[in-house]
Every structure is written in C-alpha cells, then in structure tokens.
Amino acid sequence: MSATIVLLRGLPGAGKTSLAKVLSEDGKWPVYSVDDFFTDPITGKYQFDYKTNHLAYDQCLKNTENAMQQKIQKIFIDHTLTLDWEIEAYFKLARAYNYKVFVLTVENRHGGQNQHQISPEQLSKMAEKYKVVLL
C-alpha cells in the first residue's frame, strides 16, 4: 500500500474536523490542522490571532513533513486550503516523500456552525477566492 496524504479542504464550519476524526479512525492516523496552533492543549479553548497565522501554517506543514519522514502510511490535513499556495506546499512535500495525494472538498450541507467566529461576510469573501482545480 502506498503512503497517502488526504487534504480536507473547505470553508470554516464545513465539517472538516469531524470528517478527519472519522477518516483517521479516531486517531489511529495523524490529523494536522492549522487550528491546533490556536487551541490550548489543556483547556481546549480556541483563540485565533491573525498576526500569528503564518506560524500556524508553518507548524502544520512541519508536522506533516515529520510524519512523512517517519513514513506514516496515512496522513490527514484538516485545513481550509482555499488558496492555491496553501495546497501547493502539501503537493510539494508529497512529491518529495513519494506520497499519493487526495483532495477532498467538504461542504456544509449538514447545517454545521462555524466555531471560529468568522463573520458571514468573511465566509463569503473566502468562498469567492475558493478554487476547484480541473485537470
């Protein structure tokens, strides 16, 4: 079986985290998220700070690369990945470590709520920038 990375992309509130938990078999396989950076490991409280967002992206990518270096067979990324540059970094890692990539777009068709205090206006802006790649 070839090593696989699954990128779960979608707008906040789409259900990426819930789906990642299911696909990772409740933690058997690692799930990395930008949200991890902003979540207190003890209290579980989420506190987003836009000024450190770049550090969260870096941490998620570094965690992914560390898992690839350890040859973990399945890796899941729970991240909005709405812009090309966000996805490309993971494709680059996958090529370097010979991982097969799957990209799953998660849509909020279940009535889920955005847990990140992102306004409807900001969600609309994110949706406008969201691209689906056609090959």
The reply to whether 135 falls in a domain is no
Q: What is the pTM of this model?
A: 0.83
The reply to whether 79 falls in a domain is yes
DSSP class of residue 3 equals: -
User: What is the total count of domains within the chain?
Assistant: 1
75, 103 contact by CB (below 8 A): no
In this predicted structure, what is the pLDDT of residue 99? 98
Backbone angles phi and psi of 44, in degrees to 5: 80, 5
The reply to whether 83 falls in a domain is yes
Q: Exposed, middle or buried: residue 50 (CB in 10 Å: 0-12, 13-18, 19+)?
A: exposed
Structural domain including 18 reads: 4-129
One pLDDT digit (tens) per residue for the chain, 135 residues? 689 999 999 888 788 888 999 999 989 999 999 999 999 999 989 888 889 989 999 999 999 999 999 999 999 999 888 888 889 999 999 999 999 999 999 887 666 665 556 666 776 666 666 666 544
Could you list the beta-strand ranges (E) of 12-99: 31-33, 74-78
The reply to whether 134 falls in a domain is no
